[in-house]
């Protein structure tokens, strides 16, 4: 467990340093971050964290990684949607009216639901190829990693202005 926490903290520090220069928003920091580079970094780091912490036998790994690759593809698509929403917010937060604020919030809620549905889908898929405990461990680790990723993407976003 200490190993997992240390790895996640290292990922957070790495993402935090990368995300700070350049930043997410053009209005807040003056330039856009290279999202594709960050996605590539995140993908590699997540795979490394999983390899280190899933404790898979060779037989389990042969079954696990193809399912994970499908998960990663779908999760990457969701990350694209989340990034687009954050970017739109960051570029327009100073001028958001009531209607657009509500639309952005509703989109955010929908994306959160999609993320939960994705985790449920792949928990079921993982249980078909590894034990329920191993599938649960996967969901736990991914939840922790995704929390770190979400925090690194949103930590510099300004709060909605009261107009």
Residue 163 included in any domain: no
What does the alpha-carbon distance between residue 116 and residue 53 come to, in Å, rounded to a whole number? 22
Residue 104 included in any domain: yes
**Which has the minimum average pLDDT: 6-15, 19-28, 51-60?**
19-28
CB 22 within 8 A of CB 32: yes
Residue 159 included in any domain: no
Give the best-scoring range by mean pLDDT among 88-92, 102-106, 121-125, 155-159.
Answer: 121-125
Pick the more confident residue, 158 or 1: 158
Residue 161 included in any domain: no
Pick the more confident residue, 156 or 32: 156
Closest CA to 119 of 138, 132, 145: 138
Pick the more confident residue, 108 or 42: 108
Is it the case that residue 80 has pLDDT exceeding 70? yes
Is it the case that residue 18 has pLDDT exceeding 50? no
Q: What is the pLDDT of residues 134-150, one digit of tens each?
A: 999 999 999 998 888 88
Which residue range is the domain that position 36 belongs to?
A: 2-154
Residue 160 included in any domain: no
Alpha helices in the chain (DSSP H): 2-20, 26-29, 35-53, 58-92, 98-127, 132-154
* 75 Cβ contact partners less than 8 Å away, ≥ 6 residues apart: 118, 142
Per-residue confidence (pLDDT) for residue 58, from 0 to 100: 95
Q: How does residue 162 score in pLDDT terms, banded at 50, 70 and 90?
A: low
Rg for the chain (alpha carbons), in Å? 17
The structural domain count of the chain equals 1
The model's pTM = 0.75
Residue 34 included in any domain: yes
In the predicted model, what is the mean pLDDT of residues 64-77? 95
Cα 125 to Cα 64, 65, 133: the distances in Å are 10, 12, 13
Residue 162, classed as helix, strand or coil, is coil
Per-residue confidence (pLDDT) for residue 151, from 0 to 100: 83
Pick the more confident residue, 5 or 150: 150
């Amino acid at each position: 467990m200490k190993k997992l926490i240390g790895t996640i903290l290292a990922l957070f520090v790495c993402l935090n340093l990368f995300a700070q220069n350049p930043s997410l928003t053009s209005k807040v920091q003056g330039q856009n971050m290279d999202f594709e580079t960050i996605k590539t970094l995140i993908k590699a780091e997540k795979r490394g964290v999983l390899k280190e912490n899933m404790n898979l036998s060779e037989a389990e790994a042969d079954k696990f990684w193809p399912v994970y690759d499908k998960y990663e593809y779908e999760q990457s698509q969701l990350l694209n949607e989340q990034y687009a929403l954050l970017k739109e917010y960051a570029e327009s937060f100073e001028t958001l009216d009531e209607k657009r604020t509500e639309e952005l919030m509703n989109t955010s809620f929908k994306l959160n639901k999609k993320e939960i549905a994705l985790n449920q889908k792949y928990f079921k898929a993982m249980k078909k190829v590894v034990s329920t405990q191993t599938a649960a461990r996967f969901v736990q680790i991914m939840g922790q990693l995704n929390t770190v990723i979400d925090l690194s993407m949103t930590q510099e976003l300004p709060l909605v202005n009261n107009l």
